[in-house]
Amino acid sequence: MKNSIKTLLCSFVIVCLLYLYHYRSQQQLDAVLFYAIRTNDIRGVELAIKNGANINCISWEKPIGTVEHFRRLFTKQYERPFNRLLSPIELALINQQYDIAECLLKAGANVNYLDSEGENVFTYAVDLPEDLMSDKTLITRKRRFANQLLDYGCPIQPRALHLLCYQSCDPVLLRRVLKEHNYADLKFDEMPLIVYAASSEDPDCLVALLDAGADPNATGIDGTTALMRACLHDNARMINLLLSAGANPQQHDQTGLTAVEIIRKYGSHETRTLLKKYR
């Protein structure tokens, strides 16, 4: 009896030791994977995956990108910490490492994972720092990878749509998303997407939303409409598009202000002429 108990205890200890050894080895492999991504070493990423690294592990990471881009992407308040709990594929996308991201995606990376701020991989895929907006090659790679994510059934967060409509301004990708999902009247931070699109300099995003059935008179939390925002920016083309779609220039915001009054104060001769008949 004593020998049986002793044998069982020894077996239990051995199993525990083997488990701890495996756990430590797994941690080391995962660390190698993140290191390879940080150093932009795709061969290292492939080797880590081949040797059993967990492609869906998470780690507190600080991206390689500029501080200003990191602040814009991650924080609403600059005093918040910069580090974020990320998966390998998210870290690769933040650093615009699309080859590595594709490698991870093909290896089975989880496209449904939400990071510590509630964002998923698609949000990182569609964002670009402002200083890279003019890089046509990078934009093409970003769009191609974002389309791959949609093919994999990746969910879309409101922030990603905000980026497509306003900061990243990608009407091509936006049209596909709107075709597959009924997001035309979705809001981000209590503001309709069409209001953000009217604030951008690319009318194609606004056209994409209107074609998808977005309400031209949709209001934000303060009663702001897309037409009011276009008038504030004195954008004649946006104003014309919204008026043609049925935007109401006499609609009031919470302060009682209308688009006509905004254009009277901030508009040029061209934009004032567009709203002249509504005075």
Distance of CA 152 to the CA centre of its chain: 16
Based on the domain organization, do 104 and 204 belong to the same domain? Answer: no
* CATH assignment at residue 45: 1.25.40.20
Question: Residue 62 is part of which domain span?
Answer: 21-155
CB atoms within 10 A of CB 228: 28
Based on the domain organization, do 138 and 203 belong to the same domain? Answer: no
- Copy the structure tokens of residue 162: 């905000």
Based on the domain organization, do 91 and 43 belong to the same domain? Answer: yes
Based on the domain organization, do 151 and 27 belong to the same domain? Answer: yes
Per-residue pLDDT of the chain (279 residues; tens, 9 = 90+): 556 665 555 445 444 434 444 555 788 888 888 989 988 999 999 998 988 889 999 888 765 544 444 444 444 443 344 567 889 999 999 888 999 999 999 999 999 988 877 888 999 999 877 777 778 888 889 999 999 999 999 999 999 999 999 877 889 999 999 999 999 999 999 999 999 999 988 899 999 999 999 999 999 989 999 999 999 999 999 999 999 999 999 999 999 999 999 998 888 888 888 877 765
Based on the domain organization, do 107 and 50 belong to the same domain? Answer: yes
Based on the domain organization, do 237 and 136 belong to the same domain? Answer: no
Q: Domain tally for the chain? A: 2
> Is 265 a member of any domain?
yes
